[in-house]
Amino acid sequence: MSMGKRKPQRQQDLWVPAARLESRGHPFYRAINAILAARGFDAFAERTCERFYDKANGRPSIAPGVYFRMLLVGYFEGIGSERGIDWRCADSMSLHEFLGFGPGDATPDHSTLSRTRRLIDPEAHKLVFDWVLKLIAEEGLVSGKIAGIDSTTLEANAAMRSIVRRDNGESYASYVEGLAKAEGIENPTREDLARVDRKRKGKASNEEWRHAHDANARIARMKDGSTHLAHKLEQAVDMETGAVLAAEVHEADRGDTSTVMETLVSAIEAVDRLREEPTAASKMHRLPLSEVVMDKGYHSSEVLTDLGDLAVRSYVSAPRLAKGKRRCWKGKEAERRATEANRRRIRGKRGKELMRKRGEPLERPFAHELESGGLRRMHVCGHKEVRKRISIQAAAANIGLLMRTRFGIGAPRMLQGCPRTIREAFDAAMEAMACAAAILLACAGRLWRVLTARCRATDIRRPRPTPPSATMWVRRKRSIWAAGR
């Protein structure tokens, strides 16, 4: 066999067959599209976002279903920035098919994606999250009895060098330069400024400093020990299935004990909304959300008392007191009872079991959303925009849970090492599921039309006669048998 050589210039074809432009598609994204289409996601998204557009003016925008799908692509492909999502969708023919575009159509630009995000409010993104939560609840993936709550930090789209003082708006560099001149250094160099700044204690205080462009960002210590401007993400997770029930964004300098009730109330309201749907309620636990599991960062007398007032059983790890130190409960009888009840529960068999399994269900959604999902660092400013991205990211995590439970594959990259026969079998299964769903919908519609036609044909609806009891049937049978003899 001779060696082939790459031609430096190649004449382009004048005509290209349409069959050469078609993509085989990705089985994973085809499966998601089949699930979304069977539940009417695009119609729901258009009804939800209809109020943000003018019906009789302007050029038509991208469909809301396309916008939300592009954010799902960011989760499944591990891309946090909207520019990266734009490039990935434009580069992949499989994602063209997932978004509903043809081979020759252009996907939305990153500026269109950003403008659409700013146009649609956080409540609409929250409704999409609730829609996905209802979807997985109808599949039996929400128990709704035991919730686990944990928090983490998100690196904000803001640099530390851009902070200014809250009182006069002075920048950090000019403030340190003023301190150096006050010490007698007339023309301080960068080394002098670093030496003066190194000696100060409490130099990065949120009470004194703020960011010039992101008022919600706070100076905080990240998981790796570094200091950045950050936001705080707090999530409530179903401990039995791993589904995300609520995702809230708070200021990074707020403690866990001051934000936990907001997240818990959001989770309780989400579970209560699911119980209003008969199909979802039939597959959930018969009891409402009545137990919560948290780490020792949430342990406080006020939190335990509030949980007791909400009729929620707490399993909160208790921090160890210093040797020889005891708490004073004088005038705090309610706090004492709540604390002792929590201590008794976590020392029991069920409490120890929940403490052992607490880490995996709580940390897995964070790992999927932030690490593999590419959203550990935010690319938007302000809590309003951060909440939008987090809501769709949590919804995508729940969709991944559904795919992992139904097909054993929770991300498109898991099919990279599979043989071609497995991918083709997976694709055939997706097509069969879509055909079955279409047949069921057609049969249900036909049955509904027949029943409504019969109801309209009968003017008087006679009540159905009440069948006799079992004892009457036994007596009648015995009388007939005796008459026969």
- CA 108/CA 86 separation, integer angstroms: 7
- CA 458/CA 422 separation, integer angstroms: 54
For residue 371, count CB atoms less than 10 angstroms from its CB and return exposed for 0-12, middle for 13-18, buried for 19 or more. exposed
What percentage of the chain's residues is helix, strand, coil (to nearest 5)? 55, 10, 35
Q: Which residues of 375-394 are buried (b: 16+ CB within 10 A; e: fewer)?
A: bbebbbbbbebbbbbbbbbb
What's the pTM value of the predicted model, to 2 decimals?
0.81
What does the pLDDT read at residue 322? 78
- CA 145/CA 237 separation, integer angstroms: 11
Element housing 35 (H / E) = helix 27-38
DSSP 366-410: HIIIIITTS-SB-SS-SHHHHHHHHHHHHHHHHHHHHHHHHHS--
- Contacts with 439 (C-beta within 8 Å, 6 or more apart), sequence order: none
Among 92, 223, 215, CA closest to 158: 215
At 450, list the tokens. 């027949």
Q: Supply the DSSP symbol for 143.
A: -
pLDDT tens by residue, the chain, 485 residues: 566 666 677 666 667 666 666 667 788 999 999 999 999 999 999 999 999 998 878 888 899 999 999 999 999 999 999 999 999 999 998 999 999 998 878 999 999 999 999 999 999 999 999 999 999 999 999 999 999 999 999 999 999 889 999 988 899 888 888 888 888 888 888 888 888 888 787 787 899 999 989 999 999 988 888 889 999 999 999 999 999 999 999 999 999 999 999 999 999 999 999 999 999 999 999 888 999 999 999 999 999 999 999 999 999 998 888 777 888 888 889 999 999 999 999 999 999 999 988 888 999 999 999 999 999 999 999 999 999 999 999 999 999 999 999 988 888 887 766 666 555 666 666 667 667 766 776 776 677 677 766 665 554 444 444 444 444 444 444 554 455 44
End-to-end CA, the chain: 100
State CA 75 to chain mean position distance. 10
